[in-house]
A and B are shown apart, each in its own frame.
Chain A
Amino acid sequence: GAGVSQSPSNKVTEKGKDVELRCDPISGHTALYWYRQSLGQGLEFLIYFQGNSAPDKSGLPSDRFSAERTGGSVSTLTIQRTQQEDSAVYLCASSLAGGFGEQYFGPGTRLTVT
């Protein structure tokens, strides 16, 4: 059975460039979350999608960050004009409808901005 997948697993980019990170949730999971984890830190909530409802964007750190979820499945997190402080592991998680319970995490994308 497929779990949550993310791509790429690693991304190195130059400061000022845009990057796109992809997340494929578990089939049938309507809730999808993005988190960011800086080195040695806990997880920072970024954004949440639930079905066709408006996403909860309250965790996005700046307007350079955006995310979309097409067809209620695959999600893309876009970071424009990357900065060195954007370097982190970006984790995606999905859960069953309503999200009240266990979240299943992908392996993450390690982003390095040089």
Chain B
Amino acid sequence: SQQGEEDPQALSIQEGENATMNCSYKTSINNLQWYRQNSGRGLVHLILIRSNEREKHSGRLRVTLDTSKKSSSLLITASRAADTASYFCATTLISNFGNEKLTFGTGTRLTIIP
């Protein structure tokens, strides 16, 4: 079952605009990560935010986390054509085996129009 659900499922914006994607989850988490996937293949880690953090920045990326609402948002500022990709949030739980099990949402397909 999917722990994270991204919203919207698809987003198209003009180059230079800001893109905001949201993620909601169901259970308590240790941290939340955002990944990008190009062309349906390997994922690239973008940013990790811990459960005791509320906001984090990395370059043009800004992530917020609201644990009371069980939600997170990813903001990409000044979008570029190269930002076109699918974006996934992944929540981390400690499994019975002690490992960090990542549970991914279904993703937001972002298209930047040149």
Contact = CB atoms under 8 A, between A and B. Distances in A.
Interface residue tally on A, bucketed by range: 20 to 34
Interface string A14-37: 000000000000000001010101
Interface residues of B, number: 28
A105 B44 contact: yes
A54 B96 CA distance: 12
Contacts of B35: 105
Interface in B27-64: 30, 33, 35, 40-45, 48
A33 B100 CA distance: 10
A70 interface: no
Interface of B: 2, 4, 30, 33, 35, 40-45, 48, 88, 90, 92, 95-107
Interface of A: 4, 31, 33, 35, 37, 39-43, 45, 48, 50, 53-54, 56, 58, 89, 91, 93, 95, 98-108
